[in-house]
Amino acid sequence: MFSSDPYTVVRMSGITLADWLRAQDDAALVALLRARPDLATPPPADMSVLATRVGTRASIARACEDLDTFTLAVLEALVVEGADAAPVALPTKLLGPDVKPRPLKQAVARLRSLALAWGDDDALSVPPVTREAFGSYPGGLGRGTGQTYDLSGITEGEQRVLQKLAAGPPIGDTKDASRVVPLEKAETPVQRLLARGLLLRRDPGTVELPREIGVALRGDRPLGPIQVTEPKPKTTALQQTSVDATGGGEALELVRHVENLIASWSAEPAPVLRTGGLGVRELRKVVKDLDVDERRAALLIELVVGADLAANTEATEPEWVPTTKADVWLAATTEVRWATLAHAWLDLPRLPALIGRRDEKDRLFNPLADEIRRAQAPRDRRWVLETLTAFPKGTAIANPADLAALLGWRAPRRGGRQRDELVRWTVEEGTAVGVLALGAITSAGRVLLDEGPGHAAKALGDALPAPLDHVLVQADLTVVAPGRLEPELADELALVANVESAGSATVYRVSEATVRRALDAGRTAEELQEMFKLRSRTPVPQSLTYLIDDAARRHGRLRGGAAGSFLRCDDPVLISEVLAHPEAGRLELRRIAPTVLVSPLPLADVLDGLRSAGFAPAAEGPDGQVLDLRPGGRRTTPRQRSARKPASPAVPADERLGELVRLVRAGDRAAATPRGERVAVPSNLGAGPSATLSLLQQAARARRKVLVGFVDSHGTAAQRVIEPHVVGGGVLEGYDHSYGEVLRFPLHRVTSAALVDED
């Protein structure tokens, strides 16, 4: 008996897929829908629809992506045996003597749990389109004929032809297949093999080796060596505290670099290429400004935009500019800033490692370009990291190639041609982000994967040493921060000194320009001297004291205000000196009093010009106090992010899947209900609504359940099993036992109704 459904296996001596699914308990069906969530969207009406969906080409290809090497080999062996056409026994002979019964049965159980195979061990079937998942010739073998072949008496030339085709692929191009001649007239090995039936003629130029001969010639391992168990990567046991400390250092470095990138783009936004993305020149500028290599610069740029801390202004001349979210990020604690960046990397639908490479047309991949977008990147990134989390804490895999080999065995069809590179890239980027360290996953990285960025920030804070409240001032005007500083001290030090080198200990350098910068921001010489005196664990050298005092002595003797702008000074000689300088003409300065100069130019321009001429002016506000005129940096509005479409269907909760299974079974029972008790509402209404109303009223009186099909207010079709209580006034009100709630449906939205007989 044949099924009318092309995707439901025919009933030979076995059972159809739909009947096999009906025989499974609810727990098994829930597990199936959890493992293959695409089967549940949209909800199947009954078991026949579910069976059809199980056997679709796309769904099977997706399910095969999660099979390990051995289970995939077992499925391929079933296809080679012809399980897609008729039930077969366990393919023990094809798999060879290395495969023992226990792992074979475990693999078959895995295939059954995914509905990729069904039936008893002596009558296994697979969906017909499974053969397409293995190419034109599964196992590198030809089509089976069901015949027995005698290979005795073949010549050496014929043997070579058969051996070559047996190695695969099983077809060959030849002129000798133009016609089949009797054996006595055959002149070539191919002609003789065709005449003896040891080769099959596909067309005038192609021959094919039957599967039975290929299997016989391959010996006791027809499908070749099969790796039954996963490879064991070489691991090293480390102290988790060492891993966390190293990862914490990388996290701090990441945050510092992103701060600098935001500051750089605030002052000088990067232009957007006409084709989108960031140009090579701008990438190299970031490399220079941040003192990093190009790979790290590319990753930082992608993270800043991925975290929505910078965005394309999309103006007439678009630029990459920090967003207003950057100000919120800068005001947060170091741990929260890191967690924001790490989470952005984890969910980044792009491959930053491609930047700097060229495609098949020799076009360069630029940062932020659409060409490096990959929807599967977040899934693959988590796949690599979750594999590492399965090892005990502190376990490091030093060689990414070992990790790639392990993942290649566990899911050989996932990752595509770049799978091994994806593993290496994830390890490199994860280390740069601070999720990995020394080849192991950090505690904060584990929490990030399991609980999200909020908890990850706390985990990083626990791993980092307590912030320091002191520094070490050196005689050469350098200041050493032997660890992470308290935020207030870090801000003050960044104001009065520049970072000279960063690492576990950060070295700052104080110069006249940096002291003047602090004075410009409103600090006084006394405040700077006091800060170094209180915060330094080493004596403050006289050279630093003299530098601050000397800069302060010259600083602010000239005072500027808005006229456009003005300059004032208690010393008329200094005013005359300024006016006599060549820069005064460019700044359009003129004297309006012995101690006052004015200019039509903005105050910031006047002060910058005087500073470049060797003077040390300061800005003042209306109250005469020093005014900080440093630019705050440009900002743009954050992007309105649309919900990111997941790379694979979301897995509903088990409760929802259980309800879906009950609906499918109810659909089966409804399909078996006598025709007179099942009503479908036609699109033109007609007598349909009256019949539906009558059926629903009958069910309410008899306290029977009804499978109701309806369209909700969003236009989405759905089904629910309802026990009607009230039917009338244009409304159906009934109790949904699955959800434990009373529901109301407008009758005009009901599309079908069928009485359900409980099991």
Residues 532 and 597 in one domain: no
DSSP strands (E only) in 169-291: 171-173, 200-203, 206-208, 235-237, 270-271
Backbone angles phi, psi at 238, to 5 degrees: -120, 160
3-state secondary structure of 283: helix
Residue 55 lies in a domain: no
- 463, 486, 503: which is the final residue of a domain? 463
The amino acid that residue 415 corresponds to is G
3-state secondary structure of 122: coil
Q: Which residue has the tokens 């693999």?
A: 107
Residues 301 and 361 in one domain: yes
Residues 305 and 454 in one domain: yes
pLDDT at 191: 86
**Nearest Cα to Cα of residue 249 among 24, 388, 438:** 438
List, in order, residues 6 or more apart from 545 with CB less than 8 Å away: 529
Q: Which residue has the tokens 């919900």?
A: 643
Residues 280 and 382 in one domain: yes
pLDDT at 618: 87
For 312, the token pair is: 């394309």
**Nearest Cα to Cα of residue 373 among 346, 360, 354:** 354
Backbone angles phi, psi at 220, to 5 degrees: -85, 0
Residue 744 lies in a domain: yes
Residue 344 lies in a domain: yes
Residue 18 lies in a domain: no
pLDDT at 566: 87
- 533, 554, 575: which is the final residue of a domain? 554
Give the Cα separation of 530 and 48 in Å (integer).
Answer: 82
- 463, 481, 510: which is the final residue of a domain? 463
Percent of the chain clearing pLDDT 90 (strictly above): 39
Residues 347 and 304 in one domain: yes
Residue 736 lies in a domain: yes
Residues 691 and 708 in one domain: yes
Residues 255 and 203 in one domain: no
Residue 185 lies in a domain: yes
CA distances 436 to 243, 394, 397, Å, are 8, 11, 11
Residues 179 and 310 in one domain: no
Burial label, 195 (beta-carbon count in 10 A; 0-12, 13-18, 19+): middle
Strand order in the sheet with 506-509: 472-473, 478-481, 506-509, 498-501
pTM (predicted TM-score): 0.74
Residues 175 and 312 in one domain: no
Residues 545 and 571 in one domain: no
Span 313-371, pLDDT tens digits: 888 889 999 998 998 999 888 999 999 999 999 999 999 999 999 888 888 899 999 99
Q: Peptide bond preceding 367: is omega within 30 degrees of 0, i.e. cis? A: no
Domain of residue 261: give its range.
235-463
Residue 271 lies in a domain: yes
Residue 80 lies in a domain: no
pLDDT at 381: 94
CA distances 342 to 265, 420, 446, 454, Å, are 21, 22, 12, 11
pLDDT at 292: 92
Domain count for the chain, please give it. 5
Give the Cα separation of 211 and 204 in Å (integer).
Answer: 21
Residues 449 and 433 in one domain: yes
Contact of 718 with 710, CB cutoff 8 Å = yes
Annotate 320-355 with DSSP letters as a single string.
Answer: EEEBHHHHHHHHS-HHHHHHHHHHHHHT--B-GGGT
Residues 328 and 387 in one domain: yes
- Specify the length of the chain in residues: 759
Give the residue ranges of the chain where pLDDT is below 50.
1-13, 642-643, 675-676, 678-688, 759
pLDDT at 350: 94
pLDDT at 739: 65
* Rounded (10°) angle between helices 294-306 and 419-433: 80
**Nearest Cα to Cα of residue 758 among 648, 689, 672:** 672
